[in-house]
């Protein structure tokens, strides 16, 4: 597990170098591990309109899904900060919808990476189960 996490953090760090963050100046890298053992990386890519920006976590999972992956084990996230950086709310929701309650490895700074389950970052997540209940009421 520790070796897996270190490899994911290393891949996320490599992706971080490709970030395009001229507006926020907050580059982020991510690497997601599929159940098949493949690793897909992503970085944030910003647009001047901000709303069209995509985060590193979503880049990584969208790349994986576009290549046919549907089952995930873990994602590592790293930023150039002293503190570990968790995924934003939009990324938490997308990850929960598409990957489920995977391990989230938060890296950065000099401290050891922290591993949390996604449901610790997004408790009581909205999802398909909520949509099914809403459909039954109508």
Q: What is the pLDDT of residues 68-82, one digit of tens each?
A: 999 999 999 999 998
Q: Over the stretch 4-52, which tens digit does the pLDDT of each residue have?
A: 999 999 999 999 999 999 999 999 999 999 999 999 999 999 999 999 9
Q: Is 9 exposed, middle or buried (0-12, 13-18, 19+ CB in 10 A)?
A: buried
List Cβ neighbours of 124 (8 Å cut-off, separation of 6 or more). Answer: none
- Which of 64, 67, 74, 61 is CA-nearest to residue 104? 74
Q: Which domains does the chain have, with CATH numbers?
A: 2-137 (3.40.140.10)
Report, as residue numbers or ranges, the catalytic residues. 57
Contact 53, 90 (CB under 8 A): no
Taking the model in full, what pTM does it have? 0.92
Nearest residue to 8 (alpha-carbon basis) of 66, 67, 68, 72: 72
Residue 106 structure tokens: 């938060």
């Amino acid at each position: 597990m520790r070796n897996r996490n270190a490899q994911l953090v290393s891949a996320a760090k490599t992706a971080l170098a490709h970030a395009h963050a001229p507006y926020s100046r907050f580059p982020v890298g991510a690497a997601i591990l599929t159940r098949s053992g493949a690793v897909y990386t992503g970085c944030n890519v910003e647009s001047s309109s901000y709303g069209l920006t995509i985060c590193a976590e979503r880049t990584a999972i969208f790349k994986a899904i576009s290549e046919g992956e549907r089952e995930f084990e873990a994602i590592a996230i790293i930023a150039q900060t002293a503190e570990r950086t968790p995924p934003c709310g939009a990324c938490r929701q997308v990850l929960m919808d598409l990957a489920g309650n995977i391990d989230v490895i938060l890296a950065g700074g000099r401290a050891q990476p922290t591993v949390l389950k996604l449901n610790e970052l997004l408790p009581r997540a909205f999802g398909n189960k909520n949509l099914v209940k809403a459909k039954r009421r109508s």
